[in-house]
Amino acid sequence: MKIRDKIIVQKYYLNVFNGIFLALGLMLVTFGLWLLFDRNNFFSVLFSSGKNQLVAYFSYILLGIGSLITFTSAVGFFGSSMEIKCLLITYISFQILLFVTQMAILVLMFVKKEEVHNQWNSRIDDVISEYGNESLAEQEPVWNILNAVQQNMECCGRYNVTQWERNENKGSITQIPCSCTKSNLKKWFCDVPGESIYSMGCEEYLNTWFENNVFILAAIFISLLMTQIFLVTVTCQLFRNIRKNIIWPDEL
This prediction's pTM? 0.76
Average pLDDT, the chain: 80
Question: pLDDT at position 252, please?
Answer: 46
Residue that wins the pLDDT comparison between 136 and 11: 11
Domain ranges, residue 40: 3-127+210-247
pLDDT over threshold 70, residue 39: no
Count CB-CB contacts under 10 A for residue 114: 9
**How many distinct helices (H) and strands (E) make up the chain?**
6, 2
Q: How many domains does the chain have?
A: 2
Q: Give the containing element (helix H, strand E) for 235.
A: helix 203-247
The reply to whether 22 and 82 lie within a common domain is yes
203 occurs within a structural domain: no
205 occurs within a structural domain: no
The reply to whether 41 and 22 lie within a common domain is yes
CA dist list (Å): 189 to 164, 173, 233: 11, 11, 62
33 occurs within a structural domain: yes
The reply to whether 85 and 11 lie within a common domain is yes
Question: pLDDT at position 247, please?
Answer: 52
Question: pLDDT at position 229, please?
Answer: 92
> What gap in Å lies between CA 156 and CA 153, rounded to an integer?
9
- Torsion of Cα atoms, 163 then 148 then 198 then 157, to 10°: -10
98 occurs within a structural domain: yes
Give the mean model confidence (pLDDT) for residues 117-121: 76
The reply to whether 120 and 242 lie within a common domain is yes
Note the maximum CA span of the chain. Answer: 90
The reply to whether 168 and 49 lie within a common domain is no
The reply to whether 120 and 142 lie within a common domain is no
8 A C-beta contact, residue 156 and residue 177: yes
The reply to whether 73 and 150 lie within a common domain is no
The reply to whether 176 and 70 lie within a common domain is no
Give the mean model confidence (pLDDT) for residues 106-128: 79
Question: pLDDT at position 226, please?
Answer: 92
Q: What is the pLDDT of residues 56-110, one digit of tens each?
A: 777 888 888 989 999 999 998 888 888 888 888 999 999 999 999 888 888 887 8
> What gap in Å lies between CA 11 and CA 8, rounded to an integer?
5
The reply to whether 118 and 228 lie within a common domain is yes
Phi, psi of 177 (to 5 degrees): -60, 140
69 occurs within a structural domain: yes
> What gap in Å lies between CA 92 and CA 118, rounded to an integer?
39
The reply to whether 151 and 242 lie within a common domain is no
pLDDT over threshold 80, residue 220: yes
Please report which confidence band the pLDDT of residue 55 belongs to, taking 50, 70 and 90 as the band edges. low
Q: What is the pLDDT of residues 149-207, one digit of tens each?
A: 888 888 888 888 788 878 787 777 777 888 888 777 777 888 766 567 787 888 888 78
The reply to whether 11 and 86 lie within a common domain is yes
Question: pLDDT at position 91, please?
Answer: 92
